[in-house]
Chains A and B, each alone.
Chain A
Amino acid sequence: MSVVTNIYAVLFYVATLVLVLGVGAKVASYARTPAPLKIPTMPAPLTKAGAAFRVGREVVIFESLFRSDKWLWLFAAMFHFGLLLVLLRHARYFVSSDFEPLWTLIVLVQPFGKYAAFAMVAGLLALLGRRFVLARVRYITQPSDVLMLLLLLGIGVTGACMTFVTHTDVVGVKSFFMGLMTLRWQPLPADPILLVHLACVAVLMMVFPISKLLHVPGIFFSPTRNQADDSRERRHLAPWAVRMDAERTN
């Protein structure tokens, strides 16, 4: 096995571990910390199911963003939906072709995922551009915000290159990842573009739990969006506040 293969194999094990444990720890801390007061942004749904649907709309169609800024919504939608299709397309590297009916679905999504890369990269470029063009966004931009976009662009552009310009050995890539998953390592094709692509992905996985990418789990835990408007009907009490009832003089 080549040095490159060994390095990347270890890299992906570490990256996966950091991603899963890191995000897991964050999610656990969000779940553990109570929301002591009812603070949904009103008007809010009256039921828990309604509130879940509200969160669903934020996740799927970026409802609040749409109300706020149509251009930003468009750029964000291009990037996120592009990324989603591209990711679905990548499932082919992790699923065996005799795994039906999943495999048929993965085959179906291939052409969409292929061109979605353009939407993703265009969206990212627009998001990057507005960080420099709009004064108010420039003001709040930190170096890490730009680096994050560059990292995603790096992934998107190298990926698109391998699809549309210089094809890489996709069969080799698949056997590498299937090998990682089954603990029977296989060689990784030593294609420079592929190596850059994969290195960027590994970095992204590792910074996920310590960066603003935490907005992904964050939205599910946002009290202003996930709480139902039922405070007059149901008494809402955080565990740490329960003891205070006993302090009342009446």
Chain B
Amino acid sequence: MADFQIPVLSDEPAEFVPELQPGTMAHLRPFVAKPDHNVPLGFPGELVDDWKDKAIGRMGDLLNRYRSLRVYLDSCVKCGSCADKCHYFLGTNDPKNMPVARQDLLRSVYRRYFTTSGKLFGPLVGARDLTQEVLEEWYTYFHQCSQCRRCSVFCPYGIDTAEISMAARDIMDHVGYGMKYCNEIITKVHKIGNNLGLPGPALQDTLDGLEEDVKDGTGHDVKFPMDVKGAEVLLVTPSADFFAEPHVDGLIGYAKVFHQAGVSWTVSSYASEAGNFGMFIGSYEQMFKISNRIRKAALELGVKRIVFGECGHAWRVAYSFLNTYAGPWDFLDPRYPVPQHILEFTNDLIRNGGIRLDKDANSGMVLTVHDSCNVARASRMGNVPGGQFSVPRDVIRACVPKFVDMHPDTIHDKTFCCGGGGGLLTDDLMELRVKGAKPRMEALKQVIEQQGVTHMAAMCAICKSQFTKVLPYYGMKMDMIVSVHGLVSNAIQLGVNKD
């Protein structure tokens, strides 16, 4: 099945510190971006001749732009507290996948060119010249970080390796050495409107098809509107929701919830993507441009609210950054937070009786939930800290007969990345994705065996795609992954609570 060794799952999730096996992942790197993917984004087509000076120059720019980078490159005491917290290290045993070691790849160059100690003492303080070899190492290991921020939770200074990885990727893009997967996708967003390159007419067809399917299945006229001016809500959802499994069940769930709540909504063909891969490549400019597509769509359609579908990194950009990039939102209805998560929307309706759910529709299912890293550690839902954990669980519990959580060290803000986040959801990194999923697979296996769990709900397009692909490597069924709103879609009682 695979030309690499699939990790053996241990029975003690999250308690086992692996042996170091230097270099086990040194061979694995994503395809390099071609000029077609780079030039439209304003990056050099390919590695420039004076890349060394350019890279150091860009590092200097970023140091002046990002306090996080400056403080984090200085503050690490090499305590190793983060070392055994990264799923890629736990799954690959490669010591360069320890967060601190990953940071050191960049820090060593920072020391050499930007600090007194590095200039005075060199290798004594871990400073090294920027060479071709170092660049290759950056390319390899900064594309083995899913920017999940688990390391940041456990660092005594909150050092966030995601910030370092983003900076490193930005530097590489600026010398023409970016990764194909992300840059190609961003090019598509600008050209077509979404990551998957689904043009407007095709999107319309898909939505019409869904409308028919739901009508056939339920007898109800649940609409899937596109580009409808004057709709109350603009739904921005990851484009995988339009056709991938199990994502599309989630989209059907959102549509049923809007239908039942009597709230008019629309998607936009221009901003038909919640994902913002600008974050993965650490580009403020790209995140800005992609975010402002949503602002433009909201203005043109004259909506009053913006609601985001289930997607982890999209929700991070939406919750934490959208106001910065595309606000202020003074043209939207001030009674609602901007943006809102579909789970917040649905949960409010469940609580105030706006929709009714029948757990029997999901009978026989025992659910657990995977907290997506970007939802758990980089955003919030609801009004209280930690709402990002309780809101999805409340919605799931309302939909299914039985729910259990996985090992406490693998949920909430200690959750493990699915293994495919951070712009790594590409086939050229399959080995990394399978190995990086190991800690989550261990925790999942435990609740399957001990508590009879049959399904794991996910609230992120990347998690859903990653798990359906990776579960079979570990002998589990790919269809045990469900969208949270797929459960809602099954359980919702259409037409019963209108009074």
Question: What residues make up the interface of A, taking CB atoms closer than 8 Å to B?
Answer: 26, 29-30, 33-39, 41-46, 58, 62, 64-65, 67-69, 72, 76, 130, 134-137, 139-145, 147, 207, 210-212, 214-215, 218-219, 221-225, 229, 231-232, 234-238, 240-241, 244, 248-250
For chain B, residues 153 to 168, give those with C-beta under 8 angstroms from any C-beta of chain A.
153-160, 163
Known: A144-B121, A224-B152, A241-B288. 10 other contacts (CB 8 A): A34-B65, A36-B65, A36-B324, A41-B377, A43-B385, A210-B117, A212-B74, A219-B158, A231-B320, A244-B285
Of A41, A45, A215, most buried by chain B (CB within 10 Å of CB) is A41
Query: Would you give the 0/1 interface string for B308-345, flagging 1 where the beta carbon is closer than 8 Å to chain A?
Result: 00000000000111011001100000000111000000
**In the complex the two chains form, what is the Cα distance from A237 to B379 in whole Å?**
18
Contact check, B80 vs A219: say whether CB atoms are below 8 A apart. Answer: no
**In the complex the two chains form, what is the Cα distance from A218 to B75 in whole Å?**
6
Contact check, A139 vs B101: say whether CB atoms are below 8 A apart. Answer: yes
Q: For B75, what are the chain A residues with a Cβ–Cβ distance below 8 Å?
A: 212, 214-215, 218-219, 222
Which of the candidate stretches B29-37, B213-221, B292-300, B489-497 sits at the interface with the other chain? B292-300
Closest residue of A by beta carbon distance from B378: A42
Contact check, B65 vs A38: say whether CB atoms are below 8 A apart. Answer: no
Q: Is B380 in contact with chain A by the CB < 8 A criterion?
A: yes
**In the complex the two chains form, what is the Cα distance from A207 to B295 in whole Å?**
49
Q: For A141, what are the chain B residues with a Cβ–Cβ distance below 8 Å?
A: 78
Of B149, B288, B385, most buried by chain A (CB within 10 Å of CB) is B385
**In the complex the two chains form, what is the Cα distance from A225 to B153 in whole Å?**
10
Chain B proximity of A216: nearest CB distance (Å)? 9
Of B74, B296, B389, most buried by chain A (CB within 10 Å of CB) is B74
Q: Is B52 in contact with chain A by the CB < 8 A criterion?
A: no
Contact check, B71 vs A69: say whether CB atoms are below 8 A apart. Answer: no
Q: For B385, what are the chain A residues with a Cβ–Cβ distance below 8 Å?
A: 42-46, 229
Contact check, A33 vs B63: say whether CB atoms are below 8 A apart. Answer: yes
Q: For B77, what are the chain A residues with a Cβ–Cβ distance below 8 Å?
A: 145, 212, 215
Of A42, A65, A68, A130, most buried by chain B (CB within 10 Å of CB) is A42
Q: Is B352 in contact with chain A by the CB < 8 A criterion?
A: no
Contact check, A229 vs B380: say whether CB atoms are below 8 A apart. Answer: yes
Contact for A144 among B84, B125, B328, CB less than 8 A: B125
Q: For A240, what are the chain B residues with a Cβ–Cβ distance below 8 Å?
A: 65
Contact check, A37 vs B321: say whether CB atoms are below 8 A apart. Answer: yes
Q: For A236, what are the chain B residues with a Cβ–Cβ distance below 8 Å?
A: 323-324
Chain A proximity of B215: nearest CB distance (Å)? 36
Contact check, A142 vs B126: say whether CB atoms are below 8 A apart. Answer: yes
Contact check, B152 vs A30: say whether CB atoms are below 8 A apart. Answer: no
User: Known contacts A65-B81, A68-B154: does B17 contact A136 (CB below 8 Å)?
Assistant: yes
Chain B proximity of A232: nearest CB distance (Å)? 5
Q: Is B95 in contact with chain A by the CB < 8 A criterion?
A: yes
**In the complex the two chains form, what is the Cα distance from A207 to B339 in whole Å?**
47
Closest residue of B by beta carbon distance from A31: B67
Query: Would you give the 0/1 interface string for B250-282, flagging 1 where the beta carbon is closer than 8 Å to chain A?
Result: 000000000000000000000000000000000
Q: For A42, what are the chain B residues with a Cβ–Cβ distance below 8 Å?
A: 376-380, 385, 388, 413
Of B156, B284, B295, most buried by chain A (CB within 10 Å of CB) is B156
Contact check, A136 vs B156: say whether CB atoms are below 8 A apart. Answer: no
Chain B proximity of A128: nearest CB distance (Å)? 13
Contact check, A64 vs B76: say whether CB atoms are below 8 A apart. Answer: no
User: Known contacts A142-B124, A250-B299: does B80 contact A134 (CB below 8 Å)?
Assistant: yes
Contact for A43 among B66, B104, B158, B380, CB less than 8 A: B380
Of A36, A38, A222, most buried by chain B (CB within 10 Å of CB) is A222
The 10 A-B pairs with the shortest beta carbon distances in the complex, nearest first, are A218-B75, A224-B158, A43-B385, A68-B154, A210-B117, A225-B158, A137-B80, A142-B126, A65-B156, A33-B67
Q: Is B64 in contact with chain A by the CB < 8 A criterion?
A: yes
Q: Is B83 in contact with chain A by the CB < 8 A criterion?
A: yes
Jot down 21 A-B pairs with beta carbons below 8 A, ordered by A.
A30-B67, A36-B66, A38-B321, A38-B324, A43-B385, A64-B153, A64-B156, A68-B82, A137-B78, A207-B117, A211-B117, A212-B76, A218-B74, A222-B72, A222-B159, A223-B67, A224-B158, A229-B380, A229-B385, A232-B337, A235-B323
Contact for A231 among B82, B292, B296, B324, CB less than 8 A: B324
Query: Would you give the 0/1 interface string for B375-387, flagging 1 where the beta carbon is closer than 8 Å to chain A?
Result: 0111110000110
**In the complex the two chains form, what is the Cα distance from A33 to B157 in whole Å?**
18
**In the complex the two chains form, what is the Cα distance from A146 to B159 in whole Å?**
21
Chain B proximity of A86: nearest CB distance (Å)? 20
Q: For B299, what are the chain A residues with a Cβ–Cβ distance below 8 Å?
A: 250
User: Known contacts A36-B65, A68-B81: does B328 contact A139 (CB below 8 Å)?
Assistant: no
Contact check, A238 vs B323: say whether CB atoms are below 8 A apart. Answer: no
For chain B, residues 45 to 78, give those with C-beta under 8 angstroms from any C-beta of chain A.
63-68, 70-72, 74-78
**In the complex the two chains form, what is the Cα distance from A58 to B154 in whole Å?**
11
Contact check, B288 vs A244: say whether CB atoms are below 8 A apart. Answer: yes
Contact for B157 among A35, A69, A218, CB less than 8 A: A218
Closest residue of A by beta carbon distance from B386: A43
Closest residue of A by beta carbon distance from B82: A68
Closest residue of A by beta carbon distance from B387: A43
Q: For B377, what are the chain A residues with a Cβ–Cβ distance below 8 Å?
A: 41-42
Q: Is B1 in contact with chain A by the CB < 8 A criterion?
A: no
Q: For A237, what are the chain B residues with a Cβ–Cβ distance below 8 Å?
A: 324
**In the complex the two chains form, what is the Cα distance from A225 to B379 in whole Å?**
14
Chain B proximity of A198: nearest CB distance (Å)? 23
Q: Is B85 in contact with chain A by the CB < 8 A criterion?
A: yes
User: Known contacts A42-B380, A136-B84, A235-B324: does B78 contact A145 (CB below 8 Å)?
Assistant: yes
Contact check, B104 vs A33: say whether CB atoms are below 8 A apart. Answer: no
